[in-house]
Structure 1
């Protein structure tokens, strides 16, 4: 999986489809190069006439592919193998750690001088994570829970077959 963040733009006032589309348009994005857009399924994003996706499709690329957030059943069908689920659990945990770092870098009067220690500490954490990913998995609670659940299920299955 790969995700890239272009930018974050604050919307003032109502977050309508038009306001969101205008914010995108003001960023001078070359919409004709866009091949896909993912949304959370909110009406402002996917509304048939006034949603951002509808406005994008009326523009220079009417063949834009769209994807809304998956519901739990669709997600389970997509994540059919244990390896996929394990990889996603690891990604969830790493993103959690990155979010923690991000919070430490935010706020008034933050400069490179007073945020550098947080970045350096996170760099050291990553080195420790390399060791822990082979060990007890304490920094990766989502992945650990998944592995523990699999071990429990395998233990239950083996007692049933004896």
Structure 2
């Protein structure tokens, strides 16, 4: 399917490696008492956001992650937190995420894209380059993971206009 030197494979491997570090760091929190049914859900959520999600957030500005991979990471995040809270594997979890104030992976991903876009807009040079690329995007190869493609996907998903 892909050879090991293709850019998409490299990014997928990079993101997967980051997520494995999130999982490892979460299990290292067991020493702080983050074990099933031992800690309050609020504390588990706080520790997860501070020590684990920050590892995953670091690179999200410029990396394109497909919808399938985002969904997979969402499931893996939910399983981690369910395990720490002592909740059954197949229980619905969205209300619990809201209660412990942990964002979904898709929310984090979209938020970082918006923050990065705002940073690009502040620099006149970067802004003019972005306007040029978005204006001529139809002429470029659509089967890539360019930043313009990421912004177009974000615009469709949350109904914003980045122009």
More helix by share: 2
Structure label with greater radius of gyration: 1
Question: Does TM, normalized by the shorter one, top 0.5?
Answer: no
Structure-2-length-normalised TM-score: 0.26
